A and B are shown apart, each in its own frame.
Chain A
Amino acid sequence: MKITIASGKGGTGKTTIATNLALVLADKGKEVELLDCDVEEPNCHIFLKPDIESKIPATVTMPKVIEEKCTGCGICGEVCEYSAIAVVKGKVLIFPELCHGCGACKLFCPEDAFVEVSRDVGLIEKGKAGKISFIQGLLNIGELMSPAVISGVKEAAGEPEILIVDSPPGTSCPVIAAVKDAEFVLLVTEPTPFGLNDLELAVGMVRELNIPFAVAINRSDVGNDDVKEYCQREGIEIVLEIPDDRRIAEAYSKGKMAIRELPDYRKTFETCWVTITDLHQAVLREKQHPGEKATGI
């Protein structure tokens, strides 16, 4: 089962849920791998304190000109949709940060004057946190291409029984990269106007991607009931509610795991997982036998 923990709004508790869920499942003897795909600001390591065993660069492909072959014809500049190549006075200038690695310049160069090289844009770290396999990506400071690092993290993943992905916040390209091949998405929100607005955007995104999903409400007793009413109206299941418990906030602030500090919450996460797997099974059944009612999509 590949599950991605995502949210429109930042700071709603994705990392808390991803790490605690991973630990609860690993403690029950499941084979769990956790991928921290919030490569701009990865935080899972603060809580899981993994031993990092290997580091590999996250790279993108970019073109390089073979000066001797280049005639300065300018076709590469014309076919680059990202303005990453300019041909000035017969000389090819490449702007690496703007390159998407589409290969157009190399493909359409009439002189075969391009080679492709890889450029480091981040780092992928792999290790173990107890029984949990752990991988995180780190975007280099000043780089734009977080989706490339996220793809690198995913390529480094194995095929565990349960794969948990911690996504960045928002709904744009990095989030799509983190969410796209998930079998189930858990959208984390909080019961405030900002939480609701951003949840609606996130729901729009997972529906567009056609992935089954459910909602988790963090700090569920602050704010108002609008999020619950919205979920009810839309037929979206709420599979986890975590109250605004100062002890959880304190554990979080110190980088401690909620279920270790407050064992009462272990059951909460276990129940949540059972509900999620039931929903996922229902979706699979629905696919095989259309007509039965399933959640989300």
Chain B
Amino acid sequence: MKEIVVISGKGGTGKTSIVASFAALADKKVLADCDVDAADLHLVLNPKNERREDFSGGKKAKIVEDECIACDRCIEECRFEAIAYPLSENGNVPAIDPIFCEGCGVCVRVCPVEAISFEQAVNGEWYVSSTNYGPMVHAKLGMAEGNSGKLVTLIRQEARDIAEKEGLEYIIVDGSPGIGCPVIASITGSDLVVVVTEPTLSGQHDLLRVAELTAHFRIPTVVCVNKWDLNPDITEQIEKEAEGLGVKAAGRVRYDTAITKAQIVKTSVVEYTGGAVSEDIKSLWRNVIYTLG
């Protein structure tokens, strides 16, 4: 069983479109959408939810109004400025803003009258679904919620369990942009990272930071320049620099409006068109399998 994680550094380079095509091309696979705070893969793969679970990323503190004596100890000790007196109505006791509460529990412990409750908060939900392409694990993080790293870890574990149980060969993970918490949670311990970038100075700059990140965690990494023909010079520079960092070029995908059109009719690019852009993605997938050995 091999786990392939598609990330990008810079957002909007075409990760999800490429993952959807991999879903159509790969045999015996499970899909995992780990871009939990802007999940889009379900828009193409049309999953039917078979299991739904609540996700709790941690606890949240809440002041019980009737028991609070307004001593302000909690306000003094909260480092996240999450506790204040409400501006309007019921302004007699402080309240905790759930958006800024990091669930550290300091207020709960300093409260002299035990007037603060501290319970697991539901921050989102996750699903195991069936698609025409095989099983898929995905999630929806609540509005303005944190703890995306924890949810990513959970989704990957669930996908791994499914792959083991059903004897599947590939786990294909759609990751998130950036190099922070959810990205680190989605790549650690995986078999191969595929970085999808674009031939712009921004794409180049962001790829270098991602390549440093995967090197830091010692994960084999390949790069694909999407829309490469928009700037062949920068494409070559990117591939050369990546090579210098031990990141091989696994393919180039040309610019084609078919990528947007496929998204609109909710299908993968390789199923939407038999054109050259599909051949590019097929060749990329063959190289990914070859790299995995």
Q: Which A residues fall within an 8 A CB radius of B? A: 8-12, 15, 38, 40-41, 43, 46, 79, 81-82, 100-104, 107-108, 139, 141-146, 168-176, 180, 192-194, 197-198, 201, 204-205, 207-209, 222-224, 249-250, 252-255
Contact = CB atoms under 8 A, between A and B. Distances in A.
B59 to A, nearest CB: 7
Contacts of B9: 41
A40 B178 contact: yes
A98 to B, nearest CB: 10
Interface stretch (B62-70, B194-202, B242-250): B194-202
Interface string B108-150: 0110000000000000000000000000000001011111110
A104 B104 contact: yes
Interface of B: 8-13, 16, 36-40, 43, 58-59, 77, 79-80, 99-100, 102-106, 109-110, 141, 143-149, 176-184, 198-202, 205-206, 209, 212-213, 216-217, 230-231, 234, 257, 260, 263-264, 266
Given A41-B209, A79-B105, A209-B144, 8 more contacts: A81-B105, A100-B102, A102-B104, A169-B177, A170-B38, A172-B148, A193-B43, A252-B200
Contacts of A193: 40, 43, 263-264, 266
Contacts of A100: 102, 104
A103 B145 contact: no
Contact of A104 (B11, B105, B260): B105
B206 A194 contact: no
Contact of B180 (A9, A40, A43, A222): A40
8 shortest interchain CB distances as A-B pairs: A10-B11, A11-B12, A102-B104, A40-B178, A173-B146, A253-B200, A255-B201, A10-B177
Contacts of A108: 109
Contacts of B182: 172
B12 A197 contact: no
Nearest to B118: A81
B100 to A, nearest CB: 8
A287 to B, nearest CB: 12
B201 A46 contact: yes
Contacts of B105: 79, 81, 104
A139 B181 CA distance: 11
Given A11-B12, A81-B103, A205-B143, A142 B213 contact: yes
Given A41-B177, A144-B180, A208-B99, A198 B40 contact: yes
A13 to B, nearest CB: 9
B38 A41 contact: no
A172 B110 contact: no
